[in-house]
Structure 1
Amino acid sequence: MDGSNRSVDPSCQSPPPLAIDIIVNLDVFGIILYSVLTFMAATSMVVYIEECVYIYKKVPNNKKSVIAWVNGAAPVIGTMSCLGMWIPRATMFTDMTSACYFAVVVFKFLILMLEEAGGDEAFLARAPKHKLRISTGPCCCCCPCLPHVSITRRSLFLLKLGSFQFAVMKIVFTILSIVLYTNGNFEITDVGIDGAAIWINPFVGVLTIIALWPVAIMFMHLRVTLRSIKIIPKYAMYQLVLVLSQLQSAIINILAMKGTIGCAPPYSSTARGYLMSQQLLILEMFIITLVTRLLYRRHYDPLSEEDEENKPEINENTRMVTAP
């Protein structure tokens, strides 16, 4: 039979199903799967709320906000993914909410490293003998010949600005995308040259790379200094959330738009790709939430000025990576 004469299920070319349609069509396996994933998302949020209570009671004031923001990345993304799983037509909005939150987390993680090192003034006071190595990812990892940069108040401001711009611009472009969507000018799956998505998304991608660069620079500089507070696994969790929520989702969605992921009524190929992405994220963010809780649950001692003055050679918080 000629392939052009094959009948195509109408749902394979229709918008994502309504929430009530999902509930009505769930079989036994679907009920179990959706129940388990919803339980994971709810548990992640409960764990995060409990962690916020601990942070409020046990963490110094200068670190409360940044630690709460960084800890919230996985549970917020997991919760938004759960909403997108139950309400497929809201996936674009839930994904945008997650992306906006993580854009703020990128900046907050940079501030967290500075606060753990004693704050801006303490960081600058110990900085004259050290320089920043800027030949690191994601921008300049292939350029080891780049000169090292002196640590000054201006260079610190530029590092902060590099990450802060993403937190602001991501929210601005998200609002713009929603406005254009309501006017029929923005569609995520529209990759045509006359579509808004093909112009907005690459620009946001460039802003993302620029924002991740200062965080990587600061991490490479302070990774030895902050080794005692497990900064390396904390940074690994932060990077893992980034890869899973951005790169993994993008790959699955591209495969769905290309038709590699087949249609499964009532889901079209694209909607099914989004569904798979949401379900994977719920499981992954649940695991990351538990690991993150273990990493940040510790006793926070204030930085001792006396130890800094009298024993700089053995104080872990005074050691930085010296540029060669």
Structure 2
Amino acid sequence: MNNESNPTMHPSCMEKPPLAMDIILKLDIFGIILYSALTFMAAVSMLVYLEECVYIYKHVPNNKKSVIIWVNGAAPVIATMSCLGMWIPRATMFTDMTSACYFAVVVFKFLILMVEEVGGDEAFLRRAGKHKLKISTGPCCCCCLCLPFVAITRRTLFLLKLGSFQFAVLKIVFTILSIVLYTNGTFDLSDLSIYGAAIWINPFVGILTIIALWPVAIMFMHLRVTLRSIKIIPKYAMYQLVLVLSQLQTAIINILALNGTIACSPPFSAPARGYMMSQQLLILEMFIITLVTRLLYRRQYDPLPQEEESDNTSLKQAVLSESESP
């Protein structure tokens, strides 16, 4: 029926994504320049990241090395995975899942990074013991202004860490489950029927993502004044930008492709072309974010002054807490 109503549709519009060799053989001059430039950007992103790892290993205290390397690697890893997905379109689902799993760990590591920048768990509890946490923040409860402020205790800190850590673990678990179901022909991103596994797994992972982002936002809102000297606000902005571009932007493009808004362009079907556009945009965006992130994290890692030595900062936090209290 589809063939009769669309007699001029190219056969490749109904097929699987092309093989890597098919793409190479059909590249024109513009395609060669585009693919070469994007591959160069992905390679430079990874080289910049490796150079940054060497700097971090030599100049950063031991308690911060691991978390900073993890957080710095978000953009280069996504750019590299997107480059592989661009050259090998049939592997796009797996490259996207790899990027998503890495970023799930980065969400937890960014929370740990903010705590370590203060001096670790004990230093954080000493500094923040007299203050309270505002939990009416995004993405969960930004509209629930009636929520009470929460005392900062060891148990509160543990719950905040647990809220982000669950995503790092469960995202990997659900990714492995998706791959297993894919090999059985059960998991298909384009299958949105009630009987498809994707319609059940993806929304649940989305809920886990929102839950994991909430503790990070709570911690950032509490420490944004204390850590302003180490540029925590632009660092948090870069972290959020990676999240939006790698998750929300990709989802929007893929939905448009599945709905037919993005047209088929042989040898790519509409969904495959949507995935391809997403990969190419991510390479460019992550390349820029990698360069900006390098500037933000390449600094002298001196310890923060003790709270009694920074009366102005403490006063600002106290005034801020009192003004935000109901």
Normalised by the size of structure 2, how large is the TM-score? 0.95
Contiguous gaps of at least 5 residues in structure 1: none
Query: C-alpha distance in 2, partners of 1:37/1:20?
Result: 18
Tell me the CA shift for residue 315 of structure 1: 6.4
- 1:322 paired to 2:321: yes
List per-residue Cα deviations over 1:58-103 (Å, max 9, x = no partner).
0000000000000000000000000000000000000000000000
| Offset at residue 313 of structure 1 (A) | 1.2
CA distance in 1, matches of 2:48, 2:145: 42
The amino acid across from 1:147 in the alignment is P
- CA distance in 2: counterparts of 1:3 and 1:208, whole angstroms: 44
CA RMSD of aligned residues (A): 1.7
Structure 2 residue matching 1:112: 3-state secondary structure: helix
Match of 2:255 in 1: 254
Q: Please state if 1:313 is matched with 2:311.
A: yes
Structure 2 Cα separation of the partners of residues 275 and 256 of structure 1:
10
Tell me if structure 2 keeps the 8 A contact 1:40–1:282: yes
Is structure 2 residue 76 aligned with structure 1 residue 78? no
Measure the CA separation in 1 of the matches of 2:253 and 2:218: 30
Distance 2:313 2:274 in 1: 51
SS state at 1:16 partner: coil
- Does structure 2 retain, via aligned residues, the 8 Å contact 1:126–1:318? no
Gaps spanning 5+ residues in structure 2: where? none
Identity %: 80
Q: Distance in 2 between matches of 1:126 and 1:63?
A: 19
> Structure 1's 273 and 317: CA in aligned 2 closer, same or farther, altered over 3 A?
farther
| Paired position in structure 2 for 1:55 | 56
Q: Give the aligned partner of residue 227 of structure 1.
A: 228
- Corresponding position of 1:161: 162
Q: Distance in 1 between matches of 2:154 and 2:207?
A: 26
User: Counterpart of 1:17 in structure 2: which amino acid?
Assistant: P
What amino acid maps onto 1:145 in structure 2? C
Q: How does 1:113-192 map to 2 (within 5 A)?
A: 113-192=114-193
Q: Is the 8 A contact 1:134 1:149 kept in 2?
A: yes
How far apart, in 2, do the equivalents of 1:288 and 1:5 lie?
43
Q: Which runs of 4+ in 1 moved over 4 A?
A: 314-321
Q: What is the CA deviation profile of residues 235-268 of structure 1, one whole-angstrom value per residue up to 9, with x for unaligned ones? A: 0000000000000000000000000000000000
Q: CA-to-partner distance for each residue in 1:286-309, whole Å, 9 max, x for gaps? A: 0000000000010011345xx445
Count matched residues. Answer: 320
When residues 317 and 270 of structure 1 are mapped into structure 2, their CA distance, relative to the original with a 3 A threshold, is farther
Q: How many angstroms apart in 2 are the aligned matches of 1:99 and 1:61?
A: 27
- For 1:128, give the aligned amino acid: G
Q: Give the TM-score, by structure 1 length.
A: 0.96
Q: Give 1:126 shift.
A: 1.8
Q: Aligned equivalents of 1:299 and 1:318: distance in 2?
A: 25
* Partner amino acid, structure 2, of 1:274: Y
**CA deviation map 1:35-63 (0-9, x unaligned):** 00000000000000000000000000000
